[in-house]
C-alpha cells in the first residue's frame, strides 16, 4: 500500500481520538484507560479528557458516578481509571518491591479491619493502628497507614470503593485468578495502549511496553518478546524516516478521518497530545508540562492546555476561575492568533463549553 503522509497521520490521530461523544462508560471502554492527575487547573486531567468524549459531561462526573460503574482505579502505563475487565488481566500482581514479614503482618491486620467495616477512610485505619509517620518520595512526611493502603491497593488486596473530597476510600478486593496465557494477556494490554494512542512512533510504542512494568511487574521478562510480536503483527509504515504503528483493520489514509473546524483545549495528558515526540513531529514545536517546573523557568505556564484549531495545535491556554467566571490566558506559537472570523467564533464556543463543563 502507498504509505500515509504525515498529514494523513496527523488527521487520523485527531479524528480517531475525538470520536462522537457517548456515555461515560462507553467512552472509558473505548479509550481503554483514562489517566488521572490531582491538579485542578481548572479541573482534573481525567475530567478534561472526558469532557471531549462524553455527552453533557461535567467536571467531577467520573468521581460522582464511579461507584455505580464497572470501572476501577489502578496502575496501567500510569495511574488512572480503567474497565474492571482490563484490571482483572493484571492481577494477581506481584510488586517488584518485596515486603518483609512484618509488613505483610500489618497488611493482613488492616485487610481484616477493612473487611469488617466494608469501606474505610484512611483516617479510620490510622486511628485504629497508629502506624505513625514516614518520609514520602518527595521528601515530606506522610501517614504510614496511607502508604500501607497504597501498597495494598497496588498489590490487589484492596480496591478504591469511591472518593470523598478527592480522598480514596478503600474496600477489600476479590481475588483474581492468574492468567493462564501470559503472552496473549500482555498482547491484549499492548493493544489497549495502541488503540488509545495510535498512531504511535516506534520509540513511543517501545516506551509504552516498557511502562507495562507498572501494570504487570510479575511479567517483566516477557515485555521484550511482547514488543517484538507487536511490531510484527501491527500495521505500520515508515514516513519521513520514522516508523509508525496503529491498530489492525484501520487505515490512516481513509477519508473518513475528518477533523472538524473546531477549537479544542486539551488536558496535558489527553491522548491527542500525550506523546511529546509525536507532538513535535506533528506540529513543529515542543510542548512541555510545566506544573512542576520552577515558576521563573516556565515558558507557557503552570498548567498550559494545548490549543487545537482544525488539525493544528497552534498555541496554549492557562485557565482560571475568578469570582465564578472563567478567565483564559492564551498564547500562540506564532505570536498571534489566526485572523479569520471562524477561529474567533470557535474559540468563543470552546470557552463557553468549558464554562458549562465547570458548572
Across residues 56-81, what is the average pLDDT?
97
| Cα–Cα distance for residue pair 284/189, rounded to 1 Å | 31
Nearest CA to 50 out of 77, 74, 80, 27 is that of 27
Return the CATH number of the domain spanning residue range 113-172.
1.10.10
Interhelix angle 6-17/276-283, nearest 10 degrees: 120
Give 144's pLDDT tier (boundaries 50, 70, 90). Answer: confident
Give 75's pLDDT tier (boundaries 50, 70, 90). Answer: very high
pLDDT at 139: 52
Its sign, for the CA torsion 119, 121, 122, 125, is: negative
Domain boundaries, the chain: 113-172, 263-358
Give 112's pLDDT tier (boundaries 50, 70, 90). Answer: very high
pLDDT at 138: 46
Nearest CA to 130 out of 145, 115, 141 is that of 145
Burial of 157: CB neighbours in 10 Å, binned 0-12, 13-18, 19+: buried
pLDDT at 143: 78
Q: What dihedral do alpha carbons 22, 79, 189, 32 form, nearest 10°?
A: 0
Nearest CA to 125 out of 137, 135, 112, 136 is that of 112
C-alpha grid cell, residue 353:
463549553
Express each pLDDT in 119-130 by its tens digit: 999 999 999 997
Burial of 39: CB neighbours in 10 Å, binned 0-12, 13-18, 19+: middle
Express each pLDDT in 218-274 by its tens digit: 999 999 999 999 999 999 999 999 999 999 999 999 999 999 999 999 999 999 999
Q: How far is CA 151 from the centre of its chain?
A: 20
> Can you tell me which residue has the cell 505483610?
104
Nearest CA to 333 out of 317, 348, 314 is that of 314
| Cα–Cα distance for residue pair 113/135, rounded to 1 Å | 25
| Portion of the chain with pLDDT greater than 70, in percent | 97
Indicate the pTM of the whole model: 0.94
Q: Answer whether residue 76 shows pLDDT above 50.
A: yes
Amino acid at each position: 500500500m502507498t504509505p500515509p503522509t504525515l498529514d494523513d497521520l496527523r488527521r487520523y490521530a485527531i479524528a480517531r481520538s475525538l470520536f462522537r461523544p457517548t456515555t461515560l462508560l462507553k467512552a472509558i471502554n473505548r479509550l481503554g484507560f483514562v489517566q488521572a492527575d490531582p491538579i485542578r487547573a481548572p479541573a482534573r486531567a481525567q475530567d478534561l479528557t472526558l469532557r471531549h468524549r462524553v455527552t453533557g459531561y461535567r467536571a467531577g462526573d467520573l468521581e460522582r458516578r464511579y461507584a455505580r460503574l464497572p470501572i476501577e482505579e489502578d496502575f496501567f502505563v500510569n495511574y488512572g481509571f480503567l474497565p474492571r475487565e482490563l484490571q482483572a488481566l493484571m492481577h494477581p500482581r506481584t510488586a517488584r518491591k518485596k515486603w518483609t514479614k512484618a509488613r505483610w503482618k500489618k497488611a493482613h491486620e488492616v485487610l481484616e479491619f477493612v473487611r469488617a467495616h466494608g469501606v474505610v477512610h484512611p483516617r479510620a485505619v490510622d486511628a485504629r493502628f497508629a502506624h505513625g509517620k514516614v518520609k514520602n518520595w518527595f521528601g515530606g512526611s506522610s501517614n504510614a497507614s496511607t502508604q500501607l493502603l497504597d501498597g495494598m491497593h497496588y498489590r490487589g488486596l484492596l480496591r478504591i470503593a469511591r472518593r470523598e473530597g478527592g480522598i480514596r476510600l478503600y474496600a477489600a478486593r476479590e481475588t483474581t485468578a492468574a492468567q493462564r496465557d501470559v503472552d496473549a494477556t500482555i498482547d491484549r494490554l499492548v493493544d489497549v495502549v495502541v488503540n488509545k494512542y495510535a498512531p504511535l512512533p516506534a520509540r513511543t510504542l517501545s516506551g509504552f511496553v516498557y511502562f507495562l512494568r507498572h501494570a504487570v511487574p510479575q511479567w517483566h521478562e516477557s515485555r521484550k518478546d511482547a514488543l517484538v510480536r507487536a511490531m510484527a503483527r501491527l500495521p505500520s509504515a515508515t514516513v519521513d524516516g520514522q516508523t509508525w504503528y496503529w491498530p489492525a483493520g484501520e487505515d490512516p489514509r481513509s477519508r473518513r478521518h475528518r477533523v472538524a473546524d473546531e477549537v479544542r483545549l486539551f488536558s496535558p495528558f489527553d491522548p491527542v497530545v500525550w506523546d511529546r515526540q509525536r507532538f513535535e513531529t506533528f506540529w513543529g514545536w515542543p510542548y512541555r508540562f510545566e506544573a512542576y517546573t520552577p515558576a521563573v523557568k516556565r515558558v507557557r505556564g503552570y498548567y498550559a492546555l494545548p490549543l487545537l484549531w482544525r488539525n493544528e495545535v497552534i498555541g496554549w491556554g492557562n485557565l482560571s476561575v475568578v469570582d465564578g467566571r472563567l478567565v483564559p490566558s492564551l498564547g500562540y506559537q506564532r505570536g498571534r492568533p489566526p485572523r479569520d472570523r471562524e477561529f474567533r467564533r470557535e474559540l468563543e464556543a470552546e470557552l463557553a463549553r468549558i464554562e458549562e463543563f465547570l458548572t
